[in-house]
Amino acid sequence: MTTAPWRDPALPASARVDDLLSRMTLQEKTAQLYGVWVGAATDGDGVAPLQREMTAEYDWNDLITQGLGQLTRSFGTAPVDPALGAQALARAQRRIAAAGRFGIPAVAHEECLAGFTTWRATAYPVPLAWGASFDPPLVEEMARRIGEDLRSVGVHQGLAPVLDVVRDPRWGRVEETIGEDPYLTGTIGTAYVRGLESAGVIATLKHFAGYASSAGARNLAPVRAGVREFADVTLPPFEMALREGGARSVMAAYTETDGVPASADPGLLTDLLRDQWGFTGTVVADYFGIGFLQSLHRVAGTDAEAAHAALRAGIDVELPTLKCYGKPLVEAVRAGEVPEELVDLAARRVLLQKCELGLLDEDWDPEPATRIDLDSTANRALARRLAEESVVLLDNPNGLLPLAPDTRIAVVGPRAADALAMLGCYSFPSHVLTHHPDIPMGIEIPTVLEALRTELPDAKVTFAEGCGVSDPDPSGFEEAVARASEADVCLAVLGDRAGLFGRGTSGEGCDVTDLQLPGVQGELLDALVATGVPVVLVLLTGRPYALGRWHGRLGAVVQAFFPGEEGGPAVAGVLSGRVNPSGRLPVSVPRVPGGQPWTYLQPPLGLAGEVSNLDPTPLYAFGHGRSYTSFAWESDAAQAEIGTDGSYDLGVTVRNTGDREGAEVVQLYLHDPVASVTRPDVRLIGYQRLELAPGESRRVTFRFHADLSAFTDLSQLKVVEPGALELRLGTSSAEILHTARLTLTGPVRVLGPDRRLRCEAVVT
């Protein structure tokens, strides 16, 4: 028997796929361009926008005779035992392969934003917590473990990371982002991509691009970003994750920018992504995003027109299930309304990726791992470490923390005794399990209250809820005040409840009008402060909230961004002193609830000044975080002159001057005094986390290259301009300790896609 060329692993992938395409019918090619969502709910509340309205009916047995591009969320749609789910997925893959002429299985994809979004899998901290850690190697290790878990059950593609840069913290999906800075988002996101891809799982960058810049912080609202904001804030994390991380897939955003939906924008998905950046992987639609071109954006009159617009723009795969790329597309091609070359182009990219995954090989075997443990001891240890590194000590003015081991503690608040307080909206218990109230959590999630009692066994700990997360009922205040009045210290554990589409205070479709604490939690905090007992505010949230109302009235403030299944012990460890806090803010904490949107990336007129009576200065700046130890910095920062293509080494020595081990995060900011367009007053261009024993010192050398000063000029070119620059070393964007003053000389340089994106940091 002669093996067809497309089955021959000795041939180049391109030759194999060209041979395969030449043998396929139009229907077989289009079948590679859509996914199928088995078991998706068509009634009630869903996990995707307009899921009920957009989910089409189909005959599975008939459908798979043509082949199938993707299987959507076999594990993440309903609770399924991982081992049984893996066997069921393998059976489905065998059926798909047996039904079609070519025996090609589907790519199975899943959500994996804060861990594999399935029952009994580790729930890691959310991406905003990754940003707070300022620790790319640790995030890479987490992503590698997530990828290994995905592969163990037969999943090929993960829909993460989110690389949207926060532009308005009222947006519900802030918890899914890494922060408000493109450099932090890019470096942490790239680390995640490297980890996932190293496990053989396709990383999918989302949401490309502009999604987080929606007007009024409303989910899916039109994007009002200008050309330079889009080029210099929105796009850099994606470019870094593609160039340095090697991501093999990109998800098109739901939103429109200046009247053009991303899913129908060839300038974005083809001209920029493929022609300029050289991306060769697959572009997938966000769930129902192609159908939305007709139903929401109204740039298409029929499903076929929506399919044509998306294909022409560069979307290869329709997710989560077939609608536009199925029968409507086939009929439009046969009618001469859509060029078959567009189908061939997308199918070729899909099949090349399947070839990379081994799905075209004759010896392909879907059999899953023999032992499946998605919440292993190693996973939990890693989740604990990341949670501990991500907790931010915002304030501790009088050294109230760490708590004495035998103190009387009143724990108050709606987030203290609820395991779901630890989880974001894409963690399985919050995302899916709320629809299955009779199913157990599947993983152990200690609450702050439980963890504190374990952490401080000699302390006398009492508890009162005080109020709910978002309801207006203050009837629990009296008991809460009574418990606080009996204690030496009160822990007010407040924050968010993650959910979807208005079913929570944080999460997809859970946008807010301002940044005051949800419900009557602010009033509860007022009542606790009024007792005169020292109050430690512990926040478990998916976004920053305005805290100026209590500034100077609290004993300490601890911020954790949905820290995952080990978040309770991590927070308790910070409170007890077992953990020295080292998290730094990936988003600014505002002073007042209004006056948004605001992030630290502001040009002069975006800062406080005499032209307005409103002061947007945050209470705690981007990069801020305190420690239980102290550090001293010495730098060789000086004046220097380099060319517009030159480089400069800036060193700083950091010594732990306290009596306990701790971590300092050295941050490097750029200030451009004069440019041809307005520039942010400061922006992060480098950082390094240093873990130091008492008395220990380490030196960090930042190797700055002039490329890192580039921006988009009046001609929409990425340029380096001659002139003065300042490199500022600090503990936050607002706390600068040393400054190097540079002068760039020579001509304006126009940069291409090979420009330097990262400031290397060398530790000695």
Stated as kind and residue range, the H or E segment containing 26 is helix 26-31
Integer angstrom CA distances of residue 361 from 14, 240, 354, 495, 618 = 14, 32, 9, 50, 56
Omega cis (within 30) before 222: no
pLDDT beyond 70 at 636: yes
pLDDT beyond 60 at 483: yes
Give the C-alpha separation, 609 to 753, whole Å.
37
**Which tokens is 120 given?**
């009994």
Q: Among 424, 429, 427, 425, which residue's Cα sits nearest to residue 440?
A: 429
DSSP secondary structure letter of residue 51: H
DSSP secondary structure letter of residue 508: T
Q: Among 160, 170, 124, which residue's Cα sits nearest to residue 496?
A: 170
pLDDT beyond 80 at 497: yes
Averaged pLDDT for residues 124-151: 98
Identify whether the C-beta of residue 588 lies closer than 8 Å to the C-beta of residue 598. yes
For residue 712, give the 3-state DSSP assignment.
Answer: strand
What pLDDT, on the 0 to 100 scale, is given for residue 368? 85
Please state whether the predicted TM-score (pTM) of the whole model is above 0.95.
yes
Integer angstrom CA distances of residue 104 from 66, 69, 491, 523, 650 = 10, 9, 57, 60, 54
What pLDDT, on the 0 to 100 scale, is given for residue 48? 58
pLDDT beyond 70 at 50: no
Averaged pLDDT for residues 266-277: 97
What average pLDDT does the structure give for the chain? Answer: 95
Sole residue written with tokens 């919440």: 375
Integer angstrom CA distances of residue 445 from 259, 391, 468 = 45, 17, 20
The neighbouring-strand residues paired with 157 are: 109, 202
Q: Among 498, 508, 430, which residue's Cα sits nearest to residue 50?
A: 508
Q: Among 171, 164, 166, which residue's Cα sits nearest to residue 217?
A: 171
**Which tokens is 603 given?**
């040009």
Give the C-alpha separation, 22 to 27, whole Å.
13
Identify whether the C-beta of residue 114 lies closer than 8 Å to the C-beta of residue 159. no
Give the C-alpha separation, 180 to 600, whole Å.
8
What letter represents residue 734's amino acid?
A
What pLDDT, on the 0 to 100 scale, is given for residue 1? 45
What pLDDT, on the 0 to 100 scale, is given for residue 426? 95
181-240 pLDDT tens trace: 999 999 999 999 999 999 999 999 999 999 999 999 999 999 999 999 999 999 999 999
The rounded percent of the chain whose pLDDT value lies above 90 is 93
SS (H, E, C) 380-446: HHHHHHHHHHHCEEEECCCCCCCCCCCCEEEEECCCCCCHHHHCCCCCHHHHCHHHCCCCCCCCCCC
The more confident residue out of 367 and 105 is: 105
Q: Among 489, 524, 525, 511, which residue's Cα sits nearest to residue 401?
A: 489
Q: Where are the beta strands (DSSP E) in 27-75?
A: 35-36, 70-72
447-457 pLDDT tens trace: 999 999 999 99
Residue 87 dihedral angles phi and psi, to the nearest 5°: -65, -40
pLDDT beyond 90 at 3: no
What pLDDT, on the 0 to 100 scale, is given for residue 597? 80
Give the C-alpha separation, 6 to 707, whole Å.
44
Averaged pLDDT for residues 360-374: 91
For residue 39, give the 3-state DSSP assignment.
Answer: coil
For residue 342, give the 3-state DSSP assignment.
Answer: helix
- Quick one: how many helices (H) and strands (E) in the chain? 21, 27
663-720 pLDDT tens trace: 999 999 999 999 999 999 999 999 999 999 999 999 999 999 999 999 999 999 999 9
Largest CA distance in the chain: 86
Give the C-alpha separation, 456 to 576, whole Å.
7
pLDDT beyond 50 at 384: yes
Q: Would you tell me how many other CB atoms lie within 10 Å of the CB of residue 661?
A: 14
699: left (phi over 0), alpha (psi -120 to 50) or beta: beta
To the nearest 10°, report the CA torsion of 653, 654, 659, 665. Answer: -160
